[in-house]
């Protein structure tokens, strides 16, 4: 059992290292896009399914409350939290519309639409990113495998080149934390900070 545990941790570390090597400049571009939008008074809309839905809520909380430093709240909304909205759209229309209808309702030009899908092919995430682009929003995709449809659609895509959903999700939350910390640094850096 110990060997298997070690294998899992090593695999996670290797996946994270590969992601960094493949995406460093893209991460910088995403930080710049997020910072630009927030400086302009725009908001971040985050969404995904399952574990990615939980990540959307987690990261929205980091922006709204605080991450590491004390700073003003930043406008971020997880589109995964309102069960009445989600179930009414899913019931009256289709599950593939649960995020795109919310994007059309509250998204505005210059806002960020941040969709997460480990496969890169989640229909509701793809439709939401397409709706966001039509509104003039900046689109970010956090994906795995080969990036799927999301890599084709999003303005900025961060791809975890792995087929293991758990390893992809581990890197996604690490990447989300890095993005939060860098946005904090860019917007509120202190002379004594890093």
pLDDT at residue 18 above 60? yes
| Per-residue pLDDT tens over the stretch 28-81 | 999 999 999 999 999 999 999 999 999 999 999 999 999 999 999 999 999 999
Confidence class of residue 155 from pLDDT cuts 50, 70 and 90? very high
Question: What is the per-residue pLDDT across 130-147, written as a single tens digit (0 to 9) for each?
Answer: 999 999 999 999 999 999
In a domain, 194, yes or no: no
Residue 122 lies in a domain: yes
Would the pTM of this model clear 0.85, i.e. be above it? yes
pLDDT of 61 = 98
Mean pLDDT over residues 113-125, rounded?
Answer: 98
Residue ranges making up the domain that contains 134: 2-188
User: How confident is the model at residue 189, as a pLDDT?
Assistant: 86
Asked if pLDDT for residue 181 goes beyond 60, the answer is yes
Nearest by Cα to 56 from 89, 17, 99, 100: 99
CATH code, domain with 148: 3.40.50.10490
Residue 183 in domain: yes
Whether 155 maps to a domain, the answer reads: yes
Say how many C-beta atoms besides its own lie within 10 A of residue 2's C-beta: 6
**193 within a domain of the structure (yes/no):** no
Cβ pair 170, 12 in contact under 8 A? yes
Residue 119 confidence (pLDDT):
97
List, as one string, the DSSP characters of 71-120: -----EEETTS-HHHHHHHHHHT-GGGTTHHHHHHH--TT-EEEEEESSS
Distance CA 100, CA 166 (A): 26
Q: Take residue 114 and report the two structure tokens written for it.
A: 């941040």
pLDDT tens per residue, range 73-112: 999 999 999 999 999 999 999 999 999 999 999 999 999 9
- Number of other residues whose CB lies within 10 A of the CB of residue 134: 12
On whether residue 115 sits in a domain, the answer given is: yes
168 domain-assigned = yes
The number of domains in the chain is: 1
């Amino acid at each position: 059992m110990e060997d298997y545990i070690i294998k899992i941790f090593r695999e996670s570390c290797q996946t994270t290292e590969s992601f960094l090597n493949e995406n460093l400049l893209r991460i910088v571009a995403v930080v710049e896009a997020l910072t630009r939008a927030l400086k302009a008074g725009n908001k971040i809309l985050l969404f995904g399914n399952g574990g990615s839905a939980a990540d959307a809520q987690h990261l929205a909380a980091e922006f709204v409350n605080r991450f590491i430093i004390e700073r003003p709240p930043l406008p971020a909304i997880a589109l995964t939290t309102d069960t009445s909205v989600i179930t009414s759209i899913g019931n009256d229309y289709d599950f593939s519309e649960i995020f795109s209808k919310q994007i059309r309702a509250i998204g505005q030009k210059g806002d960020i639409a941040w969709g997460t899908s480990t496969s890169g092919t989640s229909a509701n995430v793809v439709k939401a990113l397409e709706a966001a682009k039509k509104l003039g929003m900046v689109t970010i995709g956090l994906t795995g495998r080969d990036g799927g449809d999301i890599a084709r659609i999003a303005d900025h895509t961060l791809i975890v080149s792995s087929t293991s959903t758990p390893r992809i999700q581990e890197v996604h939350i690490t990447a989300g934390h890095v993005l939060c910390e860098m946005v904090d640094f860019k917007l509120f850096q202190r002379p004594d900070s890093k």
